Structure 1
Amino acid sequence: MRLITFILLPIYWASTAHAGLPGASYPSPRDISSSSSSVAAMWKNITDTLEQTLAGGGWDSISSYLLRNTTFSIGLFSLYDKNASSLQYHHISPSTINGTFGTTHIDSDTIYRVASVSKLITTYAGMVQLEDDEWNTPLTKIYPSLQDFIETTASDPDFVKNIQWDKVTVGDIAAHLGGIPRLGLPVASDIALLGTADPATLKIWGLPTPNITQFLEQYPCLESLQFGTDTVCGIQDYVQGIASNPPRYLPGNSPLYSDSGFFLLGGALSNLTGKSMDELYQDALFTPLGLKSTFSNPPTKPELLNRTVIASTLESDLINVPITTPSGGIYSTINDLATIGISILNSTLLPVDRTNRWLQPVSFTRDLHYALGRPWEIYRYVHPDTNVVTNIYTKLGDAGSYASLLALTPDFDFGFTILGASPLGVQTQAIQLIADQLTNTMIPSLMNQARREAFKNLAGTYTPKAKALNTSVTLTIPSSSKAPPGLVISKWVSNGTDVIDVLAKTLMHLVPHVPQLPANRNMVRIVPTIRDVTVSGQIAFQMETVTPVGPIVGNMFSEMYNVGSWVSTIDQLTYHDIPINEFVFSVDKTGNAFSLSLPAYEIELVRNK
Structure 2
Amino acid sequence: MYSLCLLSLLSLGAYVTAKPNACPILGPAFPAPTEIGRDPTFIAATQNLTAQIKQAIESGELAGNSISVQIFSGSDSYTAYGLSHTDHSVRNGSVGVREVDENTIFRVGSISKLWTMLLYMTFNGTKHFEEPVSKYVPELRSPYNSSQQIDQIEYVNWDEVTIGELASHQAGIPRDYAFMDLAAMAPPQALSRMGLPSLPKSERLPCGNAPFPPCNRQQFFNGILDTQPIAATSSTPLYSNAGYQILGYALEAIAQKPFHEILRERIIEPLSLSRSSHSMPNPTLAVVPSDLTSSQFNLDIGDAIPISAGGIYSSPKDISTLGRAILANTLVSPAMTRRWLKPATHTASLQVSVGHPWEIMSFNEPRLVDLYTKAGNIGMYNSIMALSPDHNAGFAILTAGNGSFSLPLKLSEQVVDIMVPAFEQMAKNQAGQRFAGTYALEDGISNSSITLVTDDEPGLKITEWISNSVNMGQAFAAKAGLQDTPSLLSMRLQPTSLKSPGRVSFSAVIQGLSEQTTSGPMLSACLTWLELDSYIYGNVGMPEFEFNLNKEGDVVSVTPRALRITLPKV
TM over 0.5: yes
Distance in 2 (CA, whole Å) between partners of 1:521 and 1:144 is: 62
Give the aligned partner of residue 20 of structure 1: 24
Give the aligned partner of residue 514 of structure 2: 549
Distance in 2 (CA, whole Å) between partners of 1:130 and 1:394 is: 21
Distance in 2 (CA, whole Å) between partners of 1:24 and 1:50 is: 29
| Alignment pair present for 1:80 and 2:75 | yes
Does the 8 A contact of 2:185 with 2:209 survive in 1? no
Distance apart, 1:417 and its partner CA? 0.6
- Which residue among 432, 435, 459 is the counterpart of 1:486? 459
Give the aligned partner of residue 154 of structure 2: 161
Structure-2 change in CA distance of 1:299 and 1:371 (3 Å): same
Distance in 2 (CA, whole Å) between partners of 1:408 and 1:587 is: 29
Q: Pairwise mapping of residues 124-523 of structure 1 onto structure 2 (< 5 A)?
A: 124-147=118-141, 149-150=143-144, 152-154=145-147, 157-185=150-178, 187-190=180-183, 194=186, 197-198=188-189, 201-202=191-192, 205=195, 208-211=197-200, 213-216=201-204, 219-220=205-206, 222=207, 225-227=208-210, 229=212, 231=213, 233-300=215-282, 305-315=283-293, 316-325=296-305, 326-327=307-308, 328-383=310-365, 388-422=367-401, 424=402, 426-464=403-441, 466=443, 468-478=445-455, 481=456, 484-506=457-479, 508=480, 518-520=485-487, 523=490
Distance in 2 (CA, whole Å) between partners of 1:44 and 1:396 is: 25
Give the aligned partner of residue 6 of structure 1: none
Give the aligned partner of residue 573 of structure 1: 535
Give the aligned partner of residue 33 of structure 2: 29
| Residue type of the alignment partner of 1:501 | Q
| Alignment pair present for 1:538 and 2:526 | no
Distance in 2 (CA, whole Å) between partners of 1:465 and 1:524 is: 23
Distance apart, 1:548 and its partner CA? 2.1
Distance in 1 (CA, whole Å) between partners of 2:20 and 2:82 is: 39
Does the 8 A contact of 1:178 with 1:250 survive in 2? yes
Give the aligned partner of residue 11 of structure 2: none
Structure-2 change in CA distance of 1:604 and 1:181 (3 Å): same
Give the aligned partner of residue 529 of structure 1: 496
Distance in 2 (CA, whole Å) between partners of 1:461 and 1:292 is: 50
Distance in 1 (CA, whole Å) between partners of 2:399 and 2:129 is: 33
Does the 8 A contact of 1:17 with 1:547 survive in 2? no
TM-score (norm 1): 0.85
Distance apart, 1:282 and its partner CA? 1.4
Distance in 2 (CA, whole Å) between partners of 1:589 and 1:214 is: 75
Equivalent residue of 1:29, what SS? coil
Distance apart, 1:418 and its partner CA? 0.6
Deviation string 1:104-146 (CA, Å, 9 cap, x unpaired) is 1221111111111101111111111255433333233333433
Q: CA RMSD in A?
A: 2.4
Distance apart, 1:257 and its partner CA? 0.7
Does the 8 A contact of 2:142 with 2:158 survive in 1? no
Structure-2 change in CA distance of 1:589 and 1:51 (3 Å): farther
| Residue type of the alignment partner of 2:56 | T
Equivalent residue of 1:523, what SS? strand
Distance in 1 (CA, whole Å) between partners of 2:94 and 2:146 is: 53
Give the aligned partner of residue 5 of structure 2: none
Does the 8 A contact of 1:17 with 1:546 survive in 2? no
Deviation string 1:304-359 (CA, Å, 9 cap, x unpaired) is x3221112322421223341121132011121112211121122221222111111
Number of residue pairs the alignment of both structures matches:
550
Distance apart, 1:558 and its partner CA? 3.1
Distance in 2 (CA, whole Å) between partners of 1:527 and 1:338 is: 28
Distance in 1 (CA, whole Å) between partners of 2:371 and 2:185 is: 40
Does the 8 A contact of 1:477 with 1:488 survive in 2? yes
Structure-2 change in CA distance of 1:241 and 1:453 (3 Å): same
Does the 8 A contact of 2:474 with 2:483 survive in 1? no
| Residue type of the alignment partner of 2:540 | I
Structure-2 change in CA distance of 1:374 and 1:579 (3 Å): same
Structure-2 change in CA distance of 1:522 and 1:447 (3 Å): farther
Structure-2 change in CA distance of 1:269 and 1:488 (3 Å): same
Does the 8 A contact of 1:504 with 1:523 survive in 2? no
Distance in 2 (CA, whole Å) between partners of 1:123 and 1:380 is: 21
Equivalent residue of 2:377, what SS? strand
Give the aligned partner of residue 546 of structure 2: 584
The 10-residue stretch of structure 1 (131-140 or 114-123) with the greater mean CA deviation from structure 2 = 131-140
Percent sequence identity is: 28
Equivalent residue of 2:399, what SS? strand
Deviation string 1:516-563 (CA, Å, 9 cap, x unpaired) is 87222661111111242xx52432111113532332334322334xx2
Distance in 2 (CA, whole Å) between partners of 1:355 and 1:19 is: 26
Does the 8 A contact of 1:370 with 1:379 survive in 2? yes
Equivalent residue of 1:603, what SS? coil
Give the aligned partner of residue 557 of structure 2: 595
In the TM superposition, structure 1's runs of 4+ consecutive aligned residues that sit over 3 Å from their partners are 130-133, 142-145, 153-156, 200-204, 464-469, 587-592
Distance in 2 (CA, whole Å) between partners of 1:579 and 1:473 is: 17
- Which residue among 37, 54, 67 is the counterpart of 1:51? 54
Deviation string 1:231-260 (CA, Å, 9 cap, x unpaired) is 463223211111121111111111001111
Distance in 2 (CA, whole Å) between partners of 1:536 and 1:184 is: 52
Does the 8 A contact of 1:501 with 1:521 survive in 2? no
Structure-2 change in CA distance of 1:153 and 1:554 (3 Å): farther
Distance in 2 (CA, whole Å) between partners of 1:210 and 1:517 is: 79
| Residue type of the alignment partner of 1:442 | M
Deviation string 1:388-440 (CA, Å, 9 cap, x unpaired) is 20000000111111011110000000101111100x2x153331221110011
TM-score (norm 2): 0.91
Structure-2 change in CA distance of 1:103 and 1:591 (3 Å): farther
Unaligned runs of 5+ in 1: 1-12, 57-63, 510-514
| Residue type of the alignment partner of 1:390 | V
Unaligned runs of 5+ in 2: 1-16
Distance apart, 1:294 and its partner CA? 1.2
Structure-2 change in CA distance of 1:528 and 1:130 (3 Å): closer
Give the aligned partner of residue 115 of structure 1: 109
Distance in 2 (CA, whole Å) between partners of 1:395 and 1:379 is: 10
Does the 8 A contact of 1:138 with 1:170 survive in 2? yes
Distance in 1 (CA, whole Å) between partners of 2:125 and 2:405 is: 35
Distance in 2 (CA, whole Å) between partners of 1:445 and 1:169 is: 40
Give the aligned partner of residue 71 of structure 1: 66
Distance in 2 (CA, whole Å) between partners of 1:502 and 1:280 is: 59
Structure-2 change in CA distance of 1:589 and 1:263 (3 Å): farther
